[in-house]
Amino acid sequence: MPTMKSRRSAVLRLLIKCALAMATLAMTIKYCTLELDDIIHEPIEEFSLEKHPYVPPTEWDSRSPCPALNTLANHGFLPHNGRGATKKDYIRALRQGYNLSLPLATFLTVSGHVLLSQYSHLSLADLARHNCIEHDMSLGHWDTLQTQEYAPDRPSEWLFDRVLAHSSDGKRMTLCELAAARVERESTYAHKLDAVHEEIARGEMSMVLGVFGGKDGRVPVDWLKEWWENERFPEGFKPDHQQTLLDTVRGSWKIRRAMNEMAQNASTKPT
């Protein structure tokens, strides 16, 4: 039978634990709101390649399988060595380099950290950890070898040429042509990507179309080559509008619709 004294000390321990939990929660909320406040009110410098010229990476610099982030590092919007960037660094760089809206830049940064289960500093090479964000069936790089934990961080010219071959005029790429490139790449596998990675793969294409596509949504092929293969902002590029979370989701839906139609047409085509 528990005595009065032992019951009282159990209640006291419980109260201390509750107080500690409440204090931790209060500190976390205070930290998050302070950090968020800082991010919201941070002035974003205008995009300028004069202030941010291209400097090629050295072999010691950390790079990822993402052409967007590698380009930001090559131009010094992110630390040039690609190491130890904070969430605030990623959000600022995405807004400055691609004029992503604050909600989109924050969503990409926070979900990237969650998918990697890494919540402090993030080096670009961390993003190559297979099947966290990185996935098979990429348009720009080969799959991770079964013996490896990390995917290649260099684009494959051979794979990328297959993407560009879908451009009907060799000058620009439309949403349907990029969707066709994804359908072709996926058709070489017996299995499908899981739902999360399918969504990520479509989101990447949607942002490419949104950021680099003009008013007609077509992306110049030479811009794509310079940015994706050389990881360098194309000459003459300057983000001319803000890319929002809603634009990205809508673009992704359109790509899914186009891919589904292509798959359906292929399955009903007489053999």
What are the DSSP E strand ranges found in 33-190? 172-173
- H/E/C letters for each residue in 161-225? HHHHCCCCCCCEECHHHHHHHHHHHHCCCCCCCCHHHHHHHHHHHHHHHHHHCCCCCCEEHHHHH
Residue that is written with structure tokens 């790509």 in the block:
255
Distance separating alpha carbons of residues 269 and 176, to the nearest angstrom: 19
Q: Does 139 bind ligand HEM (CB under 6 A)?
A: yes
DSSP one-letter code for 81: T
Interaction between residue 252 and ligand HEM (CB under 6 A): no
Residue 18 beta carbon to ligand HEM: minimum distance, rounded to whole angstroms: 37
Secondary structure of residue 110 in the 3-state scheme = helix
Contact 205, 14 (CB under 8 A): no
Q: What is the smallest separation between the CB atom of 169 and ligand HEM, expressed in angstroms?
A: 21
Q: Does 251 bind ligand HEM (CB under 6 A)?
A: no
211 binds ligand HEM (CB under 6 A): yes
Which range of residues in 7-15, 29-37, 186-194, 201-209 is near ligand HEM by CB under 6 A? 201-209
Applying CB under 6 A, among 73, 74, 75, 112 the residue interacting with ligand HEM is 112
Residue selected from 47, 52, 63, 68 as contacting ligand HEM according to rule CB under 6 A: 68
Among 153, 177, 204, 231, binds ligand HEM (CB under 6 A): 204
Residue numbers of the site for ligand HEM (CB under 6 A)?
A: 64-69, 90, 94, 98, 108-109, 112, 127, 133-135, 138-141, 151, 201, 204, 207-208, 211
